[in-house]
Amino acid sequence: MKTGIVGLPQAGKTTIFQVLTHASHELIAERSRRAQPNVGVVRVPDERIDYLSSVFNPRKTTYATVEFVDVVGLAQGQGRDLALEPVRDVDAMVHVVRAFDKGVPHPRGSVDPERDIRDFDTELILSDLQSVEKRLERLGKDIRKVRDPELENERDLLVRIQEWLESERPLREMELSQEDRRRARGFAFLSQKPMIYAVNVDDDRASLTGATADDTTRANTARVTIAGKLEAEMTELADEDLQAFLEDYGLRESGMVRLIRSVYQLLGLISFLTAGEEEVRAWTIRRGTTAQRAAGAIHSDLEKHFIRAEVASFEAFREHGSFAALREQGLLRLEGKDYVVEDGDIITVRHSG
């Protein structure tokens, strides 16, 4: 899954990207010089994988991952410019919003996070409106030539989308049927993508980063508060020093951990787990995936030849400590192909192949 890191200039986007991906200053500077977006793959922190690895001591441990793309800062009025093209194919966006006063001056002359959120969403809306208007113009000509019900359905949808956008609301907040989502998918509307607002605060407000990532009622939207400069300092600390550092600032965990987890959740993703001496691994699937489809995430042959899934919850495994103990307690279940996998299920696939 790919997530775009976006925002206005001087908001701290590149700092956030660097902390997330541990990319070097030299690599980031070189890509910036070439006007290329920075790309990095980030593992999703998962204490369940940590625990299972400590039990099985496997040859390999694999976490779920999210790909991040750092896009050039967008100045006001560039919503229809090529600056946004790199995020057309992302699954979600992280909008880094400046809420710190120190350092370089804000391009708008004052620090106002809510204004910047509105302004950036406006740029996305303008970009989408331009796409809709161009397509409606073409559809009008095509429909006059031939009466095609599918073209007429597309036109009707785009008219509703146009009205929504003209009301200055992003498409991520618009309810669409599954069929309408299918019709709209090819447009890669920017304002339709799930959005996390990463509010970047000064170090002395770091305690605010303990706020929940779901402190907004807007659909397909989340908000996380991060002290970017402080997070950069954390990357220089040894593991044994990190916890004391967090406690000094009244934090339970890094803001980056919550940001990564929030991206994963906002995309509707969960992890099921496999565990053994060869490998402990988190497998990424969409919430609501059946056991047979989940088996296909491991290998297509497992989905094709699926018989049953042997399933235990992670909580039950941690309580009893082994698969043998789970069997004795009757906590290792056999589930069929239509079983809906839960986040944290530990699964062994039985198959005929």
89 and 185 inside one domain: no
> Is there a domain that residue 73 lies in?
yes
172 and 155 inside one domain: yes
Order of strands, sheet of 333-335, starting from the edge strand that comes earlier in the sequence: 60-62, 279-286, 269-275, 345-351, 306-313, 333-335
Domains held by the chain: number: 3
> Is there a domain that residue 273 lies in?
no
pLDDT of residue 128: 94
pLDDT of residue 213: 46
257 and 303 inside one domain: no
30 and 127 inside one domain: no
The total of other beta-carbon atoms located within 10 Å of residue 240's CB is: 7
Q: What is the CATH number of the domain that holds 31?
A: 3.40.50.300
pLDDT of residue 210: 47
137 and 172 inside one domain: yes
pLDDT of residue 211: 44
211 and 91 inside one domain: yes
134 and 237 inside one domain: no
Q: Which two tokens stand for residue 256?
A: 């980056």
Helix (H, G, I), strand (E, B) or coil at 233: helix
Cβ-based burial of 252 (10 A; exposed 0-12, middle 13-18, buried ≥19) = exposed
> Is there a domain that residue 275 lies in?
no
> Is there a domain that residue 271 lies in?
no
- C-alpha 243/C-alpha 206 separation (Å) is 15
Mean pLDDT by 10 residues, the chain (353 residues): 87 87 69 70 93 96 92 57 74 93 82 92 92 93 85 94 96 94 92 94 66 62 89 81 79 83 90 97 96 96 96 96 93 95 97 84
> Is there a domain that residue 112 lies in?
no
Please, are residues 103 and 13 in contact by the beta-carbon 8 Å criterion? no
pLDDT of residue 103: 76
152 and 301 inside one domain: no
255 and 319 inside one domain: no
> Is there a domain that residue 53 lies in?
no
The total of other beta-carbon atoms located within 10 Å of residue 274's CB is: 18
Segments forming the whole domain that contains residue 294: 288-351
Please, are residues 68 and 14 in contact by the beta-carbon 8 Å criterion? no
Answer with the one of 192, 222, 242 that is the final residue of a domain: 192
> Is there a domain that residue 208 lies in?
yes
Answer with the one of 192, 211, 236 that is the final residue of a domain: 192
> Is there a domain that residue 220 lies in?
yes
295 and 218 inside one domain: no
Q: What share of the chain is helix, strand, coil (3-state, %, to 5)?
A: 45, 20, 35
Q: What is the CATH number of the domain that holds 128?
A: 1.10.150.300
pLDDT of residue 206: 59
77 and 129 inside one domain: no
- C-alpha 219/C-alpha 170 separation (Å) is 10
125 and 172 inside one domain: yes
